[in-house]
Structure 1
Amino acid sequence: MDEDEKDRAKRASRNKSEKKRRDQFNVLIKELSSMLPGNTRKMDKTTVLEKVIGFLQKHNEVSAQMEISHIQQDWKPSFLTNEEFTQLMLEALDGFIIAVTRDGSILYVSDSITPLLGHLPSDVMDQNLLNFLPEQEHSEVYKMLSSHELVTDSPSPGYLKSGNDLEFYCHLLRGSLNPKEFPTYEYIKFVGNFRSYNVPSFSCNGFDSALLRPCQVSLGKEVCFIATVHLATPQFLKEMCVVDEPLEEFTSRHSLEWKFLFLDHRAPPIIGYLPFEVLGTSGYDYYHIDDLELLARCHQHLMQFGKGKSCCYRFLTKGQQWIWLQSHYYITYHQWNSKPEFIVCTHSVVSYSDVRVERRQELALEDPPSEAIHPSALKVSTEPGRVSKCRHAQHQQQHLNPHPDDGTSSAASQLPQLPSSTPAAHTGSAAGSAALPAGGRQVILGPGRQDPAPSPHLSPPCFRGDFSPQD
């Protein structure tokens, strides 16, 4: 009897342990099935395990591919991530990343195209690259893209092969706040290579995830050209077009002549200046030359009516970037003699996309997609490098001549004690312009060729909106 009782006790203990193990196993299977996509109610344990194994295999493939394409530690500081290092490099090179199919369709473009060329990524993606080139460059660029065959004669990744590399120069259309303005082009350089990618079944925004899959040519895969595009000549002043927090604002006080009297604590993270750096300086010292005339009208309107709202304008930050602002302001009066005392301003950060919509609405224009530009509209400058800024050239002349006689200074001079000079950081290089001859020299280079000799470059855009201040 004692032995039978011991056996029953052992069996009961063993059964209890088995039941506990089965319960734990069922709980884990249930947790795995809950993480799988789709309807998992009718899945048995074997199906759940098969799907999990398949997911892990794909995950390992993606991880292996990411390790191959990962930037080595000797290329970048250890405290920077890949994304941070890539962003710093693009800013240093004045460049952006683009992915184009062999027929010229743009699959992806990075946000850094906006401060460099004035295009929003949404305007460029799903368009054809040839629509942004002058017509005389269409045939050669299309030939280089469409005639390339991906080299796959060894197991190493295709993008590490010199045979897949491509480098060439061309002109690219600059964006504008007003589509009816005379089109201008920027002289740029493409440096990249051809890769294969899985054709995504979703929108182009998922293109990155497709590139992370193993790059090997097989049925159902396409070839695209992924390149870094940078300006032939550095652009020292850029527009801060992508705003992380567009609702940011700060307050300042100005004299009636628009000199800074006060700057609150919210301003330094936005414009970079500490209060003591701007006190006593004129607000006009920090405004873009193209916006001075509009701001002068807003100032006059304020002096007449005592309050108002400014147009959207560009303000030069301490980091040498143009940030778009819009100001609400009013005049305060002395409590005893009721004389105007100073101006109180609340400045709000505005994104470039909002500015463009507002300017085009003011001009009674639609926001059309990019279209091909007729070659007769092409203008070029006579010296190589990036597009020169015509208004910044005029601005530079204001530094040399204390009594400028252009239209902007005459309009602004109607205000009391309006400053006639701006910081040297505002000025840019200047160059003349000339029409492109019919038999002009081609500026595109194929792989293995050297940089071109000085070639024609395109005239600068001159952004100007024409609208009156609002109350």
Structure 2
Amino acid sequence: MTPERERRRIMSCEAARARRRAESQVLMDMSQLLPLPSSLRPQLDKPSIIRLTISYLRIHTLLSGFADRQTWERRDEEGERETREEGERERREEGVRERWAEGNKEAGDRELGERREERKKEMGETDLYLRILGGFVVVVTTEGDMIYLSDNIREYMGLTQVELMGHSIYDFTHPSDHKEIRDNLDLTAGRSGCGGLRDFLMRMKCTVTHRGRTVNLRSAGWRVLQCRGCLKVCVSGPSLTCVLFTCQPLSLTHTLLHTHTFTSHHSMDMRFTYCDQRVTGLLSYRPEELLGVSMYDLCHTLDLHTLTKSHLNLCSKGQSVSGVYRVLVRGGGYMWAETHSAVISKPRPTQPHPSQPHQSRPSPPLFVACVTYILSGVEEPTQLLSLGQMN
């Protein structure tokens, strides 16, 4: 190798090292600007920093500029109040720095203590809202990118906010649910439009087992989530459209609310195989009268589509929430109700004694466990809507 080529090679290596150092410094500066705990920043690699930065910029754009298509030109009082509070906060911080510069350490400590208490109070209110919600919040763009998730997602799914932000929702949801997710993110759907409501079920990867153990992502199972939300459109600055969801995991166990709740078991075609005694005080049917009767026979005709949708979700996802529907009362009228359902496998029979010949055992049959919540009193008590209501 000639001296000239060797000199060029050395200069090229030096330039490459300088570029890598500059790139690393830029990424380090970017990570310092992210609203993350300082303990997490050293754990971020370059792709994670870029992914989180893009998500942060998009959610910042959404929060600073989204508005309804009809009212986006009007300034919101809450936004003005937040702007004033931000200005006051900056002035207090400037005052703290000035007092520190003047050597007034005691006043600076008192001011910083007050600011910490304010932040703790704000965080406490946020935690309270999330506990009341009973789930977590996720913001998804119409392309399927998760640009924000509340940090309490770890309590329910075992996955962290940092792991998911910036990724596509399709990478963490069941393939059979992708079409339904796309339909709910689609702007051209018939029910869509600014403020259009969304309500559907989806299965998402969960690294927490039913026994409370944590597994890695490759061994993660699926957990059924009830997703409710609405469309949000940002029309100031860069155009950004997203859907804000609240996701509540469906539980296999429910608390019976005194006499306003009853449990029942059904075959897979929703015929009663068991019903507890509470149903008599609520709907006036005796449990033995309902055996073999279809749940569809107790549903108001106008709400059959609601029950059908819930039944399809139950068969495909293993759990479902019916939404509010009308259940017929014996003697006339109806009550508003909501049913939570889950497919349960019956326990396998005990192992045969070693002296007995081995016989192949069929897989245990399935049944549907339901908890029905009665949400109202009897309406239209003199109206008969089905022959089954007659005494």
TM-score by length of 1: 0.29
User: Relative contact order, CA 8 A, sep 6+: which one is greater?
Assistant: 1
Larger radius of gyration: 1
Q: Which has the higher helix share?
A: 2
